[in-house]
Structure 1
Amino acid sequence: MKLIIGNKNYSSWSLRAWLAVKQSGLSFEEITVPMFGEQWESAKQQDGFQASSGKVPILWDGETVIWDSLAILEYCADKVGRDRFWPKDDTARGMARAMVAEMHSSYGALRSECPMNIRKRFQGVHLTDACKHDIVRILGLWAEARARFGDGGPFLFGTFGAADVFYAPVVSRFISYGIGVPGFAATYMEAVWEHDWMQSWIAASDNEEWVIEQYETAPGEA
């Protein structure tokens, strides 16, 4: 398999897909194409990008191509067994699926105001009410998942799974933008941040030389 991703520092969708493939345990080749750089426009015209209309991430498995992070996760789950990604309990699995779907389709204010920037620590951030609403909603979901289904470990549903894959970039955002969170959320965020795969991704992002200026200024900063 071959996974095409964008910059590790900035591409939240790439992080989700990469974690999903790592969670599958399947071997894959990783190809990073820096977004908005000199190679970006030419790369989008190559055959490997055609199925996605020039977007990342893209997973190629032989002649099979999947170009959406949730679709990549589900494809991997089909190959290795869904229990590797989703809780076995029906009720827990239902909530996990709903949380992943909501992350996939919602939180527009948080995404636009706080783009992922793993290396950066912003100061004096001023968020809109819409962004604060997204944050409160996410913290509420985390609290419910941990309270109802988190007995088996430090992650949302105990063990690391699809929900953690999809909320990992949110953890990064909360850290980068100095979002205040209650103790249970800080503990969960630490578990995600210190996960071996996240530490590998973070180290790689630190070593990237590319800078996208539009993602280097926080809301309210001059």
Structure 2
Amino acid sequence: MPTKLAMESAISIGHLNHYFGKGQLRKQVLFEIDLEINTGEIVIMTGPSGSGKTTLLTLIGGLRAAQSGSLQVLGQELYGATSQQLARARKYHGYIFQAHNLHGSLTALQNVKMGLELHQELTVAEMKARSRQMLEQVGLGDRIDYYPENLSGGQKQRVAIARALVSHPKLVLADEPTAALDSKSGRDVVNLMQTLAKEQGCTILLVTHDNRILDIADRIVSMEDGKLKENATTAS
């Protein structure tokens, strides 16, 4: 459960290192990562492919276990956390993947409803009502019963955003959310993320190669060869 410590820093990382493989095949992929992100900030992380951006994002999202250092997310220390504790921590995150990751056999409404599965305090009727409302907010109120195969790329990504935000998470993590979209659809998607996140008061950490969307950030950091640095210039 997030503590009051999280009110100032949504993410606080210190001396974080990470390795893939074991024995002679062990390779270090993250080096002494230090990062503070305040509640309500929109931070964009840039850097070349293979620099460690997605690895760091998955650690923050509790999709991988931290191996060393300190990794506090929403006031909870994830280094040393059990798989059950990581699963509980994910209840407070929204995660947007590069390839929307929608289930082809589920409608838009059913896909969004999956974002509420960890919230057992809600009834099925409440989950459906919240999912419908979220799809209306992303402009897909007339597509709730459509399957992904009948949606455009931009519409699929909006469903993914709705799924990530339907639980009103404190933190949204987005991995290349505009990579498969044309410039207009990409801009629409990040504007939507920015607007809804501000309305809900959540923090966003967004990984991207897309220089066209850097202006939505409060701050830009970059990763290279597994090392993180603050950019000299901050987005306006």
What TM-score does the superposition give when structure 2 sets the normalisation length? 0.31
**More helix by percentage:** 1
What TM-score does the superposition give when structure 1 sets the normalisation length? 0.32
